[in-house]
Amino acid sequence: MTGHLLSVVVFLPLAGAVLLLAVPRWAEGVLRGGALAVAVLAFVVSLALWTGFDARQADYQFVEDMRWMPSLGVGYHLGLDGISLLLVLLTTLLSPIALGSAWRAIEDRTKEFVITMLVLETGMLGVFVSLDLFLFYVFWEGMLIPMYFVIGVWGGENRIYAAIKFVLYTMAGSVLMLVAILALYAQHGAATGAYTFDLPTLERWVMPRGLAQNLMFAAFALAFAIKVPLFPFHTWLPDAHVEAPTAGSIILAGVLLKMGTYGFLRFCLPLFPDASMRYAPVIFALAVVGVIYGAWVSTVQPDLKKLVAYSSVSHLGFVMLGIFTLNVQGMVGGVIQMINHGLSTGALFLMVGMIYERRHTRLIADFGGLWTVIPAFSAVFMVVVLSSLGLPGLNGFVGEFLVLLGTFRAHPVLATFATTGIIFAAVYLLWMYQRVIFGEVTSEANRRLRDLSPREWAVVVPLLVFIVLIGVAPSPFTGRTEASVKALIARVESKAGASAAAAATAQARP
């Protein structure tokens, strides 16, 4: 069993989904409870990954490597390193929370909903642990389908438009990535004689620099940039968030966006180091623009969900900055910032969902004076807002500071621009908070709202715990990431050096 721990974690939700198929659709309580139990179980099992993980080791751990389609060089290869460990745990943490948030919100087709969510969880986990490009692509695309249904079936009024936009936009990027995967497969096979999709093998191979590498990088980068979303590929995000149900938004913001940034770390940097370094300035520039642009556009949104959606553009800009600094501080900060964004923005969507359930509106103008009516909600909301704006002592600060420190080392002027993001974050979040929570109660409909229920407490407290924990004691989290990040940097540098040497010898030859 321990030899297959990763497989167990990944496929546990799917197995649960299959079991729930047998439950009749009228037994909604059993369906909800069962799905939640499965998701919680997956989280508990995934804790074994945390405790069993050796932080000193940079290499993949809990590896499972089996043959799948040997004639094509496709393997069932799973593994976990310091970068994916935290993302896997984030996924198993947010999934039960998302299910819990939907307890009352989803009343239509409950059976299909909980099954879809569990299938989605398996898809997301698969993306983070696949060490075979073919397997990765299967999970990457496979996970689109349940998300499409979550938005398209259980979404708001304009859900069909949003769901189609989400899928088409993502597909446009992934199709090019598929072409690049095949090209990489072919090129590696031609050069070494071994046709394989195995990621560690491909990572070790020094690809010649030049047009082919640049094009492959561009294809991968486009797919991931859309997912992140990196400015200017972000316009699917506000639509998807506004239409998605709360549970969908939590997963979308919390986990799905991280697949983009994870992709850059796991694939773009080690596979195409020369191209990554060459285009790093472009990514840097887009990331900084995203940080500021996202914050500005966020400020003037009248809709709470859109405000949070655009704030994601800003926050993910920080992650991208961190990744492309190619130094330890920036990259560790980027990884931590991914987790923090998942926690803080997940919590923001959760809270927005709670007041939406009560009032059926998300317009800021419809609220005001909520502290008087629902003080506990308001206090929790305050903590979440502070975490999102990067207040020291809470989680957001740790990631942002390390990212900015890394950026400052690499590029002080850009770091200065990016740092203005912390001012604008305070502007849009505190202004929103002021209009929603402070002041007199302006609308009669708000006068009788009820405060947090025990179920809502149960859903939000785990997030608060990690928000505080990472803020106060981040070392266990950064410590588990650092070795892998260092190894990644070393790999990028050594490969870039090797390909440069190869290019030099090629030129020296008559």
Partner 1 sequence: MSTSVWLIPAFPLAGALINMLFGRLTGRRASWIAVPALLGSFLAACAVFSRVWHGEIVTARLYPWIQGGEFTTAVSVAVDPLTGVMLLVITGVGFLIHVYSVGYMHDDPGYARYFAYLNLFVFSMTMLVLASNFLLLYVFWEAVGLCSYLLIGFWYTRPAAAQAGKKAFIVNRVGDLGFGLGVMWLWVAVGSLDYADVFKAAGSMEPATATWIALLLFMGACGKSAQIPLHVWLPDAMEGPTPVSALIHAATMVTAGVYMVARSHVLFERSGVALDVVAAIGVATAVFAATIGLVQTDIKRVLAYSTVSQLGYMFAAVGIGAYAAGIFHLVTHAFFKALLFLGAGSVIHGMNGEQDLRKMGDLSKRMMATTITMGIGALGLAGMLPLAGFWSKDEILAAAFFGHRRVLWGLLVAGAFMTAFYTFRMFFLAFFGSPRMSREVAHHVHESPRSMTWPLVILAVLTTVTGLAVGIPLEHGSPFERFLAPVFARLEEAHSPVAALALAVLSVVVVAAGILLAWMLYHVRRVKAEEVGQPRTWVHALLLNAWYVDAIYDRLIVQPLYALSVLLARAFDLGVIDGIVNGLGRAVTGWAAGFRRLQTGFVVNYALTMLVGAVLLVGYLLTR
Measured CA to CA in angstroms, residue 440 lies from 121, 367, 372, 432 at distances of: 42, 10, 8, 15
If binding is defined by CB under 8 A, does position 413 make contact with partner 1? no
CB of 258 to partner 1, least distance (A): 19
Closer CB to partner 1, 55 or 183, in the complex: 55
Q: How many residues does the chain have?
A: 510
If binding is defined by CB under 8 A, does position 328 make contact with partner 1? yes
Would the CA dihedral through 107, 112, 118, 120 be positive or negative?
A: negative
Among 87, 244, 422, 460, binds partner 1 (CB under 8 A): 422
Contact 120, 22 (CB under 8 A): no
Contact 242, 305 (CB under 8 A): yes
Radius of gyration of the chain (CA): 22
Backbone angles phi, psi at 108, to 5 degrees: -100, 130
CB of 331 to partner 1, least distance (A): 8
d(CA 440, CA 437): 9
* Interface of this chain with partner 1, residues 223 to 252, rule: CB under 8 A: 232, 234-236
Q: CA geometry: angle at 484 spanning 480 and 122, to 5°?
A: 75
If binding is defined by CB under 8 A, does position 301 make contact with partner 1? yes
Structure tokens at 194: 């071994």
If binding is defined by CB under 8 A, does position 165 make contact with partner 1? yes
Q: Please, which residues bridge with residue 76 across strands? A: 66
C-alpha 266: how far from chain center: 13
d(CA 314, CA 199): 31
Structure tokens at 342: 């998942």
Closer CB to partner 1, 166 or 197, in the complex: 166
Contact 342, 254 (CB under 8 A): yes
Number of residues that bind partner 1 (CB under 8 A): 57
CB of 332 to partner 1, least distance (A): 4
CB of 322 to partner 1, least distance (A): 10
If binding is defined by CB under 8 A, does position 430 make contact with partner 1? yes
If binding is defined by CB under 8 A, does position 318 make contact with partner 1? no
d(CA 95, CA 340): 16
CB of 147 to partner 1, least distance (A): 19
| DSSP letter assigned to residue 230 | P
Closer CB to partner 1, 48 or 445, in the complex: 445
Count of C-beta atoms within a 10 Å radius of residue 96:
24
Measured CA to CA in angstroms, residue 78 lies from 74, 105, 143 at distances of: 12, 35, 17
Would the CA dihedral through 358, 305, 239, 215 be positive or negative?
A: negative
CB of 431 to partner 1, least distance (A): 7
* Interface of this chain with partner 1, residues 336 to 375, rule: CB under 8 A: 369, 371-372
Q: Which range, of 135-143, 145-153, 291-299, 345-353, touches partner 1 by CB under 8 A?
A: 291-299
Q: Which stretch of DSSP H or E encloses residue 101?
A: helix 82-105
If binding is defined by CB under 8 A, does position 438 make contact with partner 1? yes
CB of 195 to partner 1, least distance (A): 29
Q: Which residues have CB under 8 Å from 100's CB, separation 6+?
A: 36, 455, 458, 459
CB of 449 to partner 1, least distance (A): 16
Closer CB to partner 1, 66 or 379, in the complex: 379
CB of 93 to partner 1, least distance (A): 22
d(CA 356, CA 106): 13
CB of 286 to partner 1, least distance (A): 13
If binding is defined by CB under 8 A, does position 404 make contact with partner 1? yes
d(CA 335, CA 414): 20
Q: Which range, of 53-61, 128-136, 181-189, 416-424, touches partner 1 by CB under 8 A?
A: 416-424
CB of 119 to partner 1, least distance (A): 28
Closer CB to partner 1, 192 or 475, in the complex: 475
d(CA 330, CA 321): 7
If binding is defined by CB under 8 A, does position 55 make contact with partner 1? no
Closer CB to partner 1, 7 or 372, in the complex: 372
Structure tokens at 348: 């923001």
Closer CB to partner 1, 192 or 453, in the complex: 453
Q: Which range, of 10-18, 114-122, 280-288, 467-475, touches partner 1 by CB under 8 A?
A: 467-475
Q: Which range, of 127-135, 256-264, 271-279, 385-393, touches partner 1 by CB under 8 A?
A: 385-393
Closer CB to partner 1, 103 or 236, in the complex: 236
Count of C-beta atoms within a 10 Å radius of residue 444:
7
If binding is defined by CB under 8 A, does position 454 make contact with partner 1? no
Applying CB under 8 A, the residues found at the interface with partner 1 are: 165, 168-169, 232, 234-236, 293, 296-297, 299-301, 327-329, 332-333, 369, 371-372, 386, 391-393, 397-398, 401-402, 404-406, 408-409, 412, 415-416, 419-420, 422-423, 426-427, 430-431, 434, 437-440, 473-475, 478-479, 482, 486
